[in-house]
Amino acid sequence: MNLEIVILAAGQGTRMKSRLPKVLHCVGGKPLLEHVINTAQALVPSALHVVVGHGSEQVQESLAGYDINWVVQPERLGTGHAVMQALPSIADDSVVLVLYGDVPLTRQATLQQLVASAQDGPALLTATLQDPKGYGRILRDSSGAMVGVVEDKDATDEQRLLREINTGLLAAPANDFQTYLPRVDNKNQQGEYYLPDIIRLAVANGKSVASCTAESELEILGVNDRVQLNQVEREYQRRLAEELMRQGVSIADAARLDIRGSLTCGEEVFIDVNAVFEGAVTLGSGVSVGANCVLSDVSVADGTVIHPMSHIQGAVIGRDCSVGPYARLRPGTVLADGARIGNFVETKKANIGTGSKVNHLSYIGDCDMGSGVNIGAGTITCNYDGLNKHKTDIGNHVFVGSNSTLVAPLCIEDQGFVAAGSTVTTTVGKDELAVSRSRQRNIKGWNRPDKRGSKD
């Protein structure tokens, strides 16, 4: 039988106290709903249906890159009503798995087990909690067979003592949904059409209902407020850190690591505390990332050291480079092998050649730099004239003295030399020395200002 998946994502999430639809709040840099979609896709369904309501246009726009049948639920009348909206698009011979757009941590293996249990009838994912308050309880007969689900608000005091709960995740043949959902009523405290009511109807019709057990409470935790969002975030980060460590990555403190995208690492990688990785980041073998670094959409080759407090975005870094501390590499920066970027250096759209060094307090923007170049402290490329950006070309084995100003457009040819304190506005030829500064004067007998004679 084909598998089709329905994801319920129509809720407003008023407890989030946010204008953003609940399912678009992020965990690990991705919307809650995207996590659920990714897990669903891993099951290789023949079709994926997402039921949206509040903020439906915003939700669809945010996830437009996915192949999804979007179903709008104009009135939110309960989970059973939501699934009913998707039923007309579902093939009769499918098994249907129902997921929730605010439950992002359910494991693929758990869902595979649930689907396998639903080939001949409904199967429900359950969990046993120490504190089941707020959850629907699983009702079983004397033989242990499931006979129904009662919501917390509708349960008796005796039923509230039960600790096995309904997670809401359910699978069944499409024919079962088509048979039982139209018969679900809304005679309950909420006045809603509950999806789990099909369990009771199936049992009454002589069908047996299977159940699977979630591995942990966190696996089925839904996000209803920002406290739960933080719980899910920390569990997600713990899982990522654990997987990296199993792959051989050394992490100074797994509780102080944030991955907001994807992180791929080679062998013998070390990550210090409070490192943040955004977008797609790749670290080669032997890379070390210091404390309090932020790397966004960065590729770092083998043997490179990123020193503490560095912020790197949209850069490509070669082998055996050194970056930081307190460096900022902006988009378009490319470091060739062995390049060095030191403390309080900023680069942007800069190609830094093999073995070249920009070690202190400098800005290099819109620049192509050859190999073996040394840029002295306090040097800047003046790449913006107030209207347009201009480029600086620096050849091989160029030396630029400290506190120099390179006014683009500018070319410094191979082995050019710029004296410290110079403002350079015209081409420096090969093996030429550029000096552009006022002559020093020493005034003898000069009297230093004296405050003793001042009225102030």
Residues identified as active-site: 360
Name which of 205, 219, 266 is nearest 35 in CA terms.
Answer: 219
| 313 sits in which H/E element | strand 311-313
End-to-end distance of the chain based on CA atoms, in angstroms? 93
Structure tokens at 23: 């399912």
Radius of gyration of the chain (CA): 31
Name which of 27, 20, 10 is nearest 70 in CA terms.
Answer: 10
| Calpha distance 396→390 (Å, rounded) | 20
Structure tokens at 371: 């190999």
CA 229 from chain centre, in angstroms, equals 14
Is the backbone peptide bond immediately before 325 cis, with ω within 30 degrees of 0?
yes
DSSP class of 209 = -
The answer to whether the Cα torsion of 304, 310, 312, 315 is positive or negative is: negative
CA 17 from chain centre, in angstroms, equals 22
Amino acid 260 reads: R
| 140 sits in which H/E element | strand 137-140
| Calpha distance 145→239 (Å, rounded) | 34
| Calpha distance 297→115 (Å, rounded) | 36
Q: What is the CB neighbour count within 10 angstroms for residue 182?
A: 11
DSSP class of 22 = G
DSSP 235-295: HHHHHHHHHHHHTT-EES-GGGEEEEEEEEE-TT-EE-TTEEEEEEEEE-TT-EE-TT-EE
Structure tokens at 373: 């170049």
| Calpha distance 44→228 (Å, rounded) | 29
